Amino acid sequence: MKQIRPAAVAGSFYTGQAEPLAGEIASMLADAARRLEKPATLPKAVIVPHAGHIYSGPVAASAYALLQQGRDVYRRVVLLGPVHRVPVRGLALPDAEGFATPLGVVPLDLEAMARIADLPQVVRFDQAHAWEHSLEVQLPFLQTVLDDFKLVPLAVGDATPQEVAEVLERLWGGPETLIVISSDLSHFLPYRDAQRADGGTVRAILALRGPLNHQQACGGTPVNGLLVAARNHRLKPLLLDLRNSGDTAGDKSRVVGYAAFAFTEEPNDDH
């Protein structure tokens, strides 16, 4: 029997029943699509937040609404998010063949996972994935906007930007490969302080300027790796949405910052 990682945070970070979950995702995507600034080409990479869907889902939807245009293009999703519960040195792959959500099972790309297994910063460590929400909360969105894809899930712990970028380089591929980085921004600042702090972080990301620290972005480690790869590949970043939990859930006394970005490949210019 194939080993499937069961949904660990369904019912807490997002709705645990398939039909209402599908309805909520569809509603967030429709709302995001109405206000979306669309780049000329499909994104190669996105950064999306990973709090509970009621908090960060509308912001994440800004990126996923854009990815719907690549429904028939993307076949592999390389998904990186920070570990919150179990420390790990490097980037952890699971010992599984699929990740489950209430919307079904996402198959893992075992061939792509084998392609990075020899790197010293890549480890097999199921415990890093067992209760990790930063990856799981992205899956219902991906299952909704893409048709036929396989997943390479990496739970990122202590790693340098170069170590993360080396993994991304191995898996870079062509238009069929999408990179998704899961990260929130500042944590538990008053509303106005968070706006100022997150504004500075956004400017750094748009300038492809790192490294970010974990006060700026809890997923700073995978974000920093993407920034290295984005500079190497001349990706162009675009801010899709910037809000915080005070905007989406009401309480402005202590908020968490959320942003969504798309990174597109610049057309070749030989002139």
Query: What is the pLDDT confidence band of residue 252, given thresholds at 50, 70 and 90?
Result: very high
- Global confidence as pTM: 0.97
Q: For residue 271, what pLDDT is reported?
A: 42
Q: What percent of the chain has pLDDT over 90?
A: 94
| Structure token pair of residue 20 | 């209402």
Residues 6+ away with beta carbon under 8 Å from 180: 45, 46, 48, 77, 78, 79, 80, 138, 142
Whole-angstrom distance, CA of residue 17 vs CA of residue 101: 9
Helix spans in the chain (H):
18-34, 53-67, 110-116, 127-130, 133-136, 139-145, 161-171, 191-206, 220-232, 245-248
In this structure, the number of other CB atoms found within 10 A of the CB of residue 196 comes to 10
Q: CB burial class (10 A; 0-12, 13-18, 19+) of residue 31?
A: middle
Whole-angstrom distance, CA of residue 266 vs CA of residue 102: 37
Q: For residue 164, what pLDDT is reported?
A: 98
Any idea of the CA torsion for 86, 90, 94, 97, to the nearest 10 degrees? Answer: 150
Q: What is the pLDDT of residues 99-135, one digit of tens each?
A: 999 999 999 999 999 999 999 999 999 999 999 999 9
Query: What is the pLDDT confidence band of residue 156, given thresholds at 50, 70 and 90?
Result: very high
| Structure token pair of residue 97 | 């063949």
Q: If you average pLDDT over residues 19-32, what whole number do you get?
A: 98
| Number of helices followed by number of strands (H, E) in the chain | 10, 12
Q: Give the closest residue to 138 by CA, choosing from 103, 187, 89.
A: 103
Residues in the chain: 271
Q: What is the pLDDT of residues 37-69, one digit of tens each?
A: 777 799 999 999 999 999 999 999 999 999 999
- Given a contact cutoff of 8 angstroms between Cβ atoms, the answer to whether 265 and 233 are in contact is yes
pLDDT for residue 180 is more than 60 = yes
pLDDT for residue 269 is more than 70 = no
Whole-angstrom distance, CA of residue 40 vs CA of residue 155: 31
Q: For residue 1, what pLDDT is reported?
A: 42
Whole-angstrom distance, CA of residue 211 vs CA of residue 232: 15
The CA-CA-CA angle for residues 187, 258, 75, to 5°, reads 130
Q: If you average pLDDT over residues 227-246, what whole number do you get?
A: 97
pLDDT for residue 34 is more than 70 = yes
Q: If you average pLDDT over residues 75-90, what whole number do you get?
A: 97
Q: Give the closest residue to 77 by CA, choosing from 145, 165, 3, 162.
A: 145
Q: For residue 167, what pLDDT is reported?
A: 98
Query: What is the pLDDT confidence band of residue 268, given thresholds at 50, 70 and 90?
Result: low
Question: What CATH number is given for 23-265 in this structure?
Answer: 3.40.830.10
pLDDT for residue 181 is more than 60 = yes
